[in-house]
Structure 1
Amino acid sequence: MNVNADFSRRAVVVPDQYQWVASPQSGVERMMLDRVGEEDARATSLVRYAPASHFPPHQHPGGEEILVLSGTFSEGDRHYPAGWYLRNPPGSAHRPSSAEGALLFVKLRQMTPGEAHPIRIDTRDPAAWTRASGRDICPLFSNESEQVVLERLAPASPLSTAPVGGAEFLVLDGDLSVDGRPFIRGSWMRWPVGDHPDVVAGANGATLYLKTCHLPAEAKGALPC
């Protein structure tokens, strides 16, 4: 299965395009943002857990990245309410569930083999944020292959002033304009190396998840991060 699988092109999904698809586990649905492969896929998705739903224990050979958007997500006896960011490295295992229901942003099989340590960050903790380049940033992860942050933009402020080696964002709050097109909360966009969209926060500002420099090696080209 291929969904937005051409990493040399822009990909955009806005909330009125959402199409929820049942997963193999009852009570868990997915909105596929990009995907290469069948059930064991390189994938970026929104994942919706109904109350009292769960997956059986399983491994993630290529790792799993999770941002809890609403509700509470659980791994065994560990519980993560909205705002928590999790990275489960390649080869890790867990039993995910949600007693009250949850909405997650999930990326599968997109980590480098060298990642070995789980990461847990409460992005609603003010201590997790820093002020840099005139904006508020919550660093989540960085290595030679990708940089991941949450970023708060003031009203009418631009996202970036220079091209990077591929990027994607998910609007968590507020709204953006991308080349004049509005992107409301829940909108997702990925653009390739060499592309440089004009991204500006709306009148109320915006908070977004932002990942850069992470496209598959065959799509990167020569532009460094």
Structure 2
Amino acid sequence: MNLKADFSQRVAIDTNAMDWEASPMAGVERRKLDRIGGEVARATSLVRYAPESYFSEHTHSGGEEFLVLEGVFSDEHGDYPAGTYVRNPIGTAHKPHSKDGCVIFVKLQQFAQTDTAQFSINTRDAEFGPGQVPGLSVLPLHSHEGESCALVRWAPRTHFAPHRHWGGEEILVLEGTFQDEMGDYPKGTWLRSPHLSQHNPFSDEGCLIYVKTGHLPN
């Protein structure tokens, strides 16, 4: 399957309008955002676990990165409540499940071989630092060889300078409404902007976004 596989194209998706699709495991459903491959794929997805559901044990041949959006995600290593960011590098394995149900934003098969850090961050307890302009606060999550990801909080009526995205930019709006000259993006919007794309972002009401840069083909 090739889904939104042309990384030279800008993509904006209201994930709230998407249907949930069944996965091979009962009680586990997906909203596929981009994908290259079959059941084992380079993929970006939202995944929903029904209460008392689980996914079979598997090894991360290309790494796994996820952010828990709702509920509590669990595996044999621990419980990860909403707001937890997790990285599982190449070669790690687990058997995930959820007692009460959860929703996660997950990226698969997108790690460099040299990116070996395995960790989790409870972003609800972490301290944001000042951003590049007044009204922005930033919680760095990870960086490796030009790739970086963070949570960025925008106070109401915050504007950022026009800029280009070296290596592309990917955004998931977690709270509020993110904006630029091309439109308004409420909670649940997923954006992918290609290498050297440009925009002038702002937020009138304020928002919280997950943002990843430097990871798309150039």
> TM-score by structure 2 length?
0.94
Check whether the contact 1:159–1:201 (CA below 8 A) recurs between aligned residues. no
Supply the AA of the counterpart residue of 1:102: C
Residue 196 of structure 1 is matched in structure 2 by: 198
Residue 187 of structure 2 is matched in structure 1 by: 185
1:130 equivalenced with 2:122 (yes/no) = no
Residue 71 of structure 2 is matched in structure 1 by: 71
Gaps of 5+ in 1: 221-225
User: How far 1:20 moved relative to its partner?
Assistant: 1.3
RMSD (Å) for aligned C-alpha atoms: 1.3
Gaps of 5+ in 2: none
Give me the whole-angstrom Cα distance separating, in 2, the residues matched to 1:3 and 1:211: 19
What are the superposed Cα offsets for residues 37-58 of structure 1, whole Å, 9 maximum, x if unpaired? 1111100000000000001211
1:152 equivalenced with 2:174 (yes/no) = no
What are the superposed Cα offsets for residues 30-89 of structure 1, whole Å, 9 maximum, x if unpaired? 101111111111000000000000012110110000100010000115101000000000
Alignment length, in residue pairs? 215
Supply the AA of the counterpart residue of 2:26: S
Residues 91-102 of structure 1: pairs in structure 2 closer than 5 A: 91-102=91-102
Residue 163 of structure 2 aligns to a residue whose secondary structure is coil
Supply the AA of the counterpart residue of 1:110: Q
Check whether the contact 2:49–2:103 (CA below 8 A) recurs between aligned residues. yes
Supply the AA of the counterpart residue of 2:181: D
1:11 equivalenced with 2:11 (yes/no) = yes
Give me the whole-angstrom Cα distance separating, in 1, the residues matched to 2:36 and 2:159: 31
What are the superposed Cα offsets for residues 173-215 of structure 1, whole Å, 9 maximum, x if unpaired? 0002232422110000001012112321132x01000000101
User: How far 1:157 moved relative to its partner?
Assistant: 1.7
Supply the AA of the counterpart residue of 2:23: S
User: How far 1:117 moved relative to its partner?
Assistant: 2.6
User: How far 1:160 moved relative to its partner?
Assistant: 5.1
Fraction of identical pairs, as percent? 44
Supply the AA of the counterpart residue of 1:197: H
Residue 81 of structure 2 is matched in structure 1 by: 81
Residue 163 of structure 1 aligns to a residue whose secondary structure is strand
Residue 168 of structure 1 is matched in structure 2 by: 170
Supply the AA of the counterpart residue of 2:85: Y
Give me the whole-angstrom Cα distance separating, in 1, the residues matched to 2:213 and 2:161: 11
> TM-score by structure 1 length?
0.91
